[in-house]
Amino acid sequence: MHDRDIHTVVRILKQECTKWREPIVGVIANQSQDPFRILISCLLSLRTKDQTTAEASHRLFALASDPASILALPLHRLEQAIYPVGFYRTKAKQIRRLCQTLLDDFNGRVPDCLDQLLTLPGVGRKTANLVVTLGYRKPGICVDTHVHRICNRWGYIHTKTPNETEQALRQKLPRRYWIHFNDWLVPFGQNLCRPVSPLCSQCPIRPWCQRVGVTRSR
């Protein structure tokens, strides 16, 4: 894929995404525009299906929706609220540590700076970038498994890790696409450009895709 092709590809992606369900963190961001809720829902979503994340987030935020009120919950009550998200016991403890850090170091406010977000317990670059982009509408590139896989499959970049992908996209991807790039590629990767046997015969982006690493498709 040539650099100039990204504009055409993004235009197609935006149109295609209207057919599919928006990722749950994006839904929560649109509903609340609350960086704290976005941060917590991001943590809950790791290794968890969207529907489970949505239900767990709803239960938790009905009980507590800020760092102090979450810390006031007994640990077992917090675990019950977020069950059955993946690793719910570990995440419950992680959320409590995160909330304590927010109160101790940031006056209870979720920081809008990537470097500060990365100091929070359990927060990696994917989550930090989602909070920056969805919570504060500031430029950032959230790279999950879909973004990493698809951009390399297209031949738009050539990287080995998500962190390398983020840095490569910061160099190549036009800045006006940064905030929503993850929102477009996640449903695209879930529905068409799947990890194994992607649906290339149905893909409107195929003319621009080098299909790097694709050995079997439909």
Interaxial angle between packed helices 145-154 and 178-191, expressed in degrees from 0 to 180 and rounded to the nearest 10: 90
* Residue 164: closest CA among 148, 179, 180, 176: 148
Write the Ramachandran bin of 211: left for phi over 0, alpha for psi from -120 to 50, otherwise beta. Answer: left
Q: In the numeric block, which tokens belong to residue 33?
A: 């525009």
For tokens 């896989």, the residue is 149
Provide the angle, in degrees to the nearest 10, between the axes of the packed helices 35-45 and 50-63: 140
Q: Return the active site residues.
A: 126, 144
